[in-house]
Structure 1
Amino acid sequence: MYREILTVFDPLVFIVSLCFQSTLIYTIIRHSPKNISTLKSILLINSCFQLVQSSMAFFSQVRYVSNLVPLELWSYGPCRHFEAFICYSTFHVLQTSSLISALTVFLTTFMKYQAAKHVHLSEKKTWVVVCTILAIILVSTGCAISLVIMQALPLEIRQKYILINQSLDEYSVIGIVDYSVLPSRINATIVNGLVIILPITCLLLRRKILKLLTGPDRSSDALHSQNRIFIQGLTLQIFCHTLVYVPIFVCSSISLVTKTEYIFPQYFIFVLPHLTTVIDPAVTMYFVTPYRKKLIIWLRLKNNKMHSIAHSTFVVSVNQ
């Protein structure tokens, strides 16, 4: 049943994500005011990696078979027609791009908290946060590269998966996740740790930002209104990321520990995070004031053109 749903759902999410992300990237590059240059960089990084995430999620369509020992990865996407090592590499690109996307949401929240204090950003504190994020990404990427080299590229392993997949049609087995291997344990610790830590940290920062914005030293009414709108968007992003990541990862972890087969998290552990690649650009376009204004202008122009065409058609019809 799940596969019938996902056969339609995965391509649909990918197409919508591609349209939304392309529009957002264009808007960020062409229509960002100079006073949000830092936010522009963060949003652009997030959007680019979400585009990668969406592409890899559609291309691989991974099923995370967590009740098997070692855990197996099955691909139902277009990449199942290629060699297993290509799909296995795609899986790690998907995981890393999802990680970077989640970290950029945290970084946006942190930068907004710093700005809400009405002080110049502490370079030391900012660099500590940025360097920590970069270190996490580099360690996770290093582990992913090590796993591809060790568990996918050796000739005997490639031949093994070619033989396994010869008799399979609907999906292909693309690799394993073996937690007895150090890089797998490190990556699992990073991913599962951040799934819990990031939402809690972002929600705490959001609470502090709201206190600062409603305090006696708040900014002018116009700026205060813009900040409130931006925080509403950030709050929506945080809650969406929490809802699509935390429950599904908890279910998957329980399945992994108990060796119980829960079908839903096996299919949807990468599908639900894929939804953030549609939600995030929509939230950014609406809740970041300069982008929302541009979006309204585009919609008005489109409506004006439609009214103009309709009026012209009416005039022609009357004249006839």
Structure 2
Amino acid sequence: MLATVESFYRTFLDIYCPAFFFGTVAMQGILIYFILFQTGAKMGVFRYILGHTSVCQLILLFITISCQFRMISSKVPVEVRCYGPFRFFPAVYTYAMHQAFQFFLFMSGMSIIVTLYFKLMTFNFTRMTKAAMIITFLLFHIPVAFSGGLEIYLVITVSLPKEIQEMYSLKNIDVSLYSTAGTMKLQTVSFMNFLIMVGSVFVYPFASFWIRHRILKHLNHHLNSFSSHNKAQHRSFVTGLTLQSFLPVLTYFPLFALYVFCVTTGAEIIFQQYFIYLMPTTPALIDPFVTLFFVVPYRKKILTWCGLNKRSSVGPQSVSTVMS
């Protein structure tokens, strides 16, 4: 029975993964086109942060599809298998890719919070120099850098030693279906990184709602500083970012709950094993739709191209009023 279920999932994923990959690349490509060519120069730092988020999500997508990890949560320690094209590479590389997956998942989520924070600063009428923006960006990413340092340490100690590489070389002689990338043990370093990753997913929505509240408060307070049209655009942009910050909880929490259940009970849930990596990558496909809809000038431009908004003339300079 279990073999039949696994066969069904493998057949489904052989169709789903390429479709998800090309669909996401197409949407991210459209979004990057708008960021590069349909926004004004005054957009400044927001152009780079939105582009940074897209690049992180594309890297995350590449890792997800090229490795197609599966977490065997019922095993002790938890085993990570690689079913994608990277299964032909030595285990040290696939284990490093597994750690990189967590890093870029963290990085892409943090970018959304940074975007909201810089947006708040514009409503505080704070004139930030480029140096101040860079320092602020780096300060926000201290937890990401710390997590990345822990992940590098894990690669060096858990996968890089010669005897461990030889062990996995023998274990992965036949990689016709999958290879074993490594194991996950909640020891001191990995447990610290685990807490940072999981904690960040749940902090993002609270942080974004708080920043959104402050931004809307400024909008309502400075009634004479913005036209009703500009206020509507600002609200739409902020709402889109808030939804994006909430997506990781929706895509990650159900699988995380199943993961805890499987680890504690030893239950075998095939859906959890395969989709605990695929679901957190789903925002890479959804985020472009959210951005293109909630950034009003982008939406109007698309409607104009489709012949549904012929009266509106939207140029790149219009986006600057939303971002700045």
2:20 paired with 1:18: no
Change (3 A) 1:203 1:265: farther
How far is 1:100 from its partner?
Answer: 0.4
How far is 1:49 from its partner?
Answer: 0.7
2:269 paired with 1:262: yes
Pick aligned residue for 1:88 from 83, 95, 105: 95
**Given that residues 33 and 290 in structure 1 are in contact (C-alpha distance below 8 angstroms), is that contact kept between their aligned partners in structure 2?**
no
How far is 1:168 from its partner?
Answer: 5.3
**Given that residues 25 and 48 in structure 1 are in contact (C-alpha distance below 8 angstroms), is that contact kept between their aligned partners in structure 2?**
no
Pick aligned residue for 1:234 from 222, 238, 241: 241
* Other-structure match for 1:189: 195
Partner AA of 1:225 in structure 2: A
Taking CA–CA contacts closer than 8 Å with sequence separation of 6 or more, which of the two structures ends up with the larger relative contact order?
A: 2
**Given that residues 110 and 141 in structure 2 are in contact (C-alpha distance below 8 angstroms), is that contact kept between their aligned partners in structure 1?**
no
Secondary structure of the 1:32 match is coil
How far is 1:65 from its partner?
Answer: 1.9
Q: Matched residues in 2 for 1:195 and 1:257: separation?
A: 21
Q: Matched residues in 1 for 2:56 and 2:150: separation?
A: 19
Identity, % of aligned positions: 32
Q: Matched residues in 2 for 1:142 and 1:157: separation?
A: 21
**Given that residues 203 and 238 in structure 1 are in contact (C-alpha distance below 8 angstroms), is that contact kept between their aligned partners in structure 2?**
no
Asked which structure has the greater CA Rg, the reply is 1
Pick aligned residue for 1:134 from 123, 130, 141: 141
Secondary structure of the 2:14 match is helix
* Other-structure match for 1:279: 286
Partner AA of 2:270 in structure 1: I
Q: Matched residues in 2 for 1:205 and 1:120: separation?
A: 15
TM-score where L is the length of structure 2: 0.83
TM-score where L is the length of structure 1: 0.84
Root mean square deviation, CA, Å: 2.6
How far is 1:80 from its partner?
Answer: 1.2
Gaps of 5+ in 2: 1-7, 311-324
Partner AA of 1:133 in structure 2: F
How far is 1:16 from its partner?
Answer: 0.9
| Cα distance per residue 1:115-161 (max 9 Å; x no partner) | 344x2157899777534322112111212222222222222212211
Partner AA of 1:112 in structure 2: K
Secondary structure of the 2:34 match is helix
| Pairs within 5 Å for 1:111-260 | 111-117=118-124, 119-120=125-126, 130-167=137-174, 169-180=176-187, 182-215=188-221, 217=223, 219-260=226-267
| Cα distance per residue 1:193-218 (max 9 Å; x no partner) | 11121122222322333344344636
How far is 1:35 from its partner?
Answer: 2.5
Q: Matched residues in 2 for 1:116 and 1:245: separation?
A: 32
Gaps of 5+ in 1: 304-320
Partner AA of 2:247 in structure 1: C
